Structure 1
Amino acid sequence: MARIGDGDKRWIVEDRPDGTNVHNWHWAETDCLDWSRNYLSNLLSGKPILSGDGNLYLRIKTLQKLDGEAYVNVRKGKIIPGYELNLILTYEAEARDSDGTSVILSTEGSVEIPYISDENAGEDPEIKITIKDDGPIGRRLKDAFVAKGKPFVLEKVREYVDVMAKGGPAKDELEVKKVGAKKPSSAAAATATATATASNVMDDNTGNNKDVSVKESKKKEEKRKEGFKTIKMSEKFSCRARDLYEILMDENRWKGFTQSNAQISKEVGGEFSIFDGSVTGTNVELQEGELIVQNWRFGSWPDGIVSKVRLTFEEPESGVTTVKLIHTDVPEEDRYGNSTVVENTERGWRDLIFHRIRAMFGFGI
């Protein structure tokens, strides 16, 4: 957006004297990290997990740590949450004798969720549970927390994710208005139909049937593409094209720079699974050091939606490679109604793939 006084005035949105962000036209960003810390602490701290079942007592003690970033962007009523959080909880664990009167073991443990992200909003995150006492009774207490405490913690995380998708702390401040397109009156519809019919008849009489078919075909194609976007990116690396191709097609290297599980076939028609299974697909076309074409599907997308990834590798000079990405048919919303798919996918390519390759292998320019 141009600054006031610069650029074409048609693209400038001037500030109002009263400071009002009318209909959220401007980008409005709310920092949600402190709010997230308080919200999750209220959901989890001090909550009992077991209260005597099997003479075991488990209680979440406190939210020890919540680091990372969390924010909500809003523009023109569109909510775009973003968060990458690392969460650590502590819990108290106690085992009593068969009478339930004497304490056999009293210890503590921790619960860590290393990566809560808007990119994986539709999936339960990885969760790590530990306990200080590693003896038989301690392991029994840990197993009890895995069985009872883990589902409880994940339920509260899902609650947080749902609240963020609705605007988090900015929800009450939003001027979200969904304005539906007005349906034409029956008289207007009849007029439009009559006009279209007359137009078709005139085209028939003048031999323009072919033009009408082309226009109808274009309209159908535009209709089919509604709700989908294309992502285009170009990145430059200080390495050979075949080296970068190999990194992207080798599952062990994927595991290394993404720190997540991956299974990748190097054959055309072969399947792949990356980012702990959150993305799956098949290889459509492969040319070593030159081209990768794949079908990609995210687990959080609506059923039946598959996008296409096309990566071309160009080596304009020895030791310098340009990768051009075209990612088509990316849905604007996931199966849960979150409208951040395109933004998250683009950010994932940039931050979780290209930038991490640079950091891991030193291919930066």
Structure 2
Amino acid sequence: MAKYGEGDKRWIVEDRPDGANVHNWHWAETDCLEWSRSLLSNLLSNLVILDGEGNLFIKIKKIEKVDGEAYVNVRKGKNIPGYELNVSLSWEGEAKDSDGKSLLKVDGSVEIPYISDENADEDPEIKVTIKDEGPVGKRLKEAMVAKGKPVIEEKIRIYVQSMAKGGPAKDELEAKKVAPKGQSTAVKEAEADSATPAAGEKKEVKKESSKGFKKETNKGFKTISMTEKFSCRARDMYEILMDENRWKGFTQSNARISKELGGEFSIFDGSVTGTNVELQEGKIIVQKWRFGSWPDGIVSTVRLTFDEPEPGLTVIQLLHTDIPEEDRYGNATVVENTERGWRDLIFHRIRAVFGFGI
């Protein structure tokens, strides 16, 4: 034990000459306001809410302001976010008649007065206003409230989850990770080079056949399998999933779907994009799917097999492989959200809209 008046070095956290905060023993605070503005702008700008459903066209244009404060404190690897934000959005709407002629074009705003870490488990208050309060304007406003608020709430949840993961502080911590003691940068670079095939050398890759899919072997990727039954013919289900107008109808979102092999598609207002790999009418759909929130370069595979054991009964087998465990913001709910999306936003809605329930 140290003598009275002397410090015991075992209990003193000395300042390092290099200024490093080793293992974030001290509190390290990261200002996240500009990062929050950027993320919220990416999440909430140019969002199509309605694209002709009921002859209404509604779109969120951009973030007008993000005021308040946002920060993340980190100590010993623990993230403690704090934020109180006031967010304003602008939106535009247009109503057309049955002949496609414009009845009214309007501008409006959305106020989210209080997004706070104290209410992280609750959806924030969302106030929708419009500049024209006439009958058509009122109809557009009601549509924006009904269809737009759930979209905005989902985007805000992504922001809240990202802050809980550390926001920009998470990236900074990853960047500060160093190689094991004694290993130089040159050694790390050499190891990276050795892992890259030399020119002319072919790296062994297991390829998928057109009739089967690779099993889950990569750490960090998951597979979803699901079996669903519908009271319809198999060709009807195939057509619904490959027809962009019907897709728009049951998802209430914008879609562009090519029916050609190798053709591209964009669904859920562009949140999911991909290409057709194999198509057999009424039997098989194989597609490459990519979600916009996933890390760059990651593409999954969707295989839908249609079986009709008896007329009027269709059984669909879904196999969705190569789904990342985390999105680009570090949220570890990708698999859960993808499975819920297939079940609630696709299969259940098809039953509800087309009356194919079992």
- From the two aligned structures, give the one with the greater helix fraction: 1
**Larger Cα-atom Rg:** 1
* TM-score, with length taken from structure 1: 0.47
